[in-house]
Amino acid sequence: MSHYSQGSVNGQCLCGSVKYRVDEIGEKMAHCHCSMCRRFHGAAFATFGEARKEDFHWVEGEHLLQSYKAPNGTVRRFCSVCGSSMTFAPANDSGDLIEFTLGTLVDQPALTPDAHIFIGSKASWYAIEDSLPQFEEGRDSKQLV
Ligand SMILES: [Zn+2]
Ligand SMILES: [Zn+2]
């Protein structure tokens, strides 16, 4: 994974009990349209940034995180106080990276999302109107646009 140097950015959940800092965000930031991320966010899609685990720090409230492991092995963590979606981990988690919800950032990231993924399960009521590349499933799947 490549990185873009921009300095640290901070994030927090809705109630502020859980706070984190990311020292360096990776370049990959995708809008995920899969049905599980849609439900996790209660929204048309989820947007995740990624960072090396050594660059991601829980500043407050890590003990308040709860996790949900789905039947496919993916793990999503959320604030147990306010329900904010915080992180995602794939079933085959390498342990090197952490994916966090871009919507919980307090500071502005230097880069913006670069792809739409899992378009194959996109909500029918949402139309993509930007020019970012679209993938049927993950980034290694068939590119549709
Ligand atoms: Zn919270
Ligand atoms: Zn997803």
| pLDDT tens, position by position, 15-63 | 999 999 999 999 999 999 999 999 999 999 999 999 999 999 999 999 9
- C-beta separation of 139 from 50 below 8 A: no
CB-based contacts of 82, cutoff 8 Å, min separation 6: 13, 14, 15, 17
Distance 127 CA to ligand 1 centre (A): 30
- C-beta separation of 79 from 86 below 8 A: yes
Residue recorded with tokens 């990311």: 22
pTM score of the predicted model? 0.92
Residue 99 CB: number of other CB atoms within 10 A? Answer: 23
Distance 65 CA to ligand 2 centre (A): 19
In the chain, where are the structural domains located?
A: 9-121
Nearest ligand, CA 122: 2
Distance 46 CA to ligand 2 centre (A): 7
What pLDDT is attached to residue 6? 66
Q: In this structure, which topology does domain 9-121 adopt according to CATH? A: 2.170.150
Distance 118 CA to ligand 2 centre (A): 7
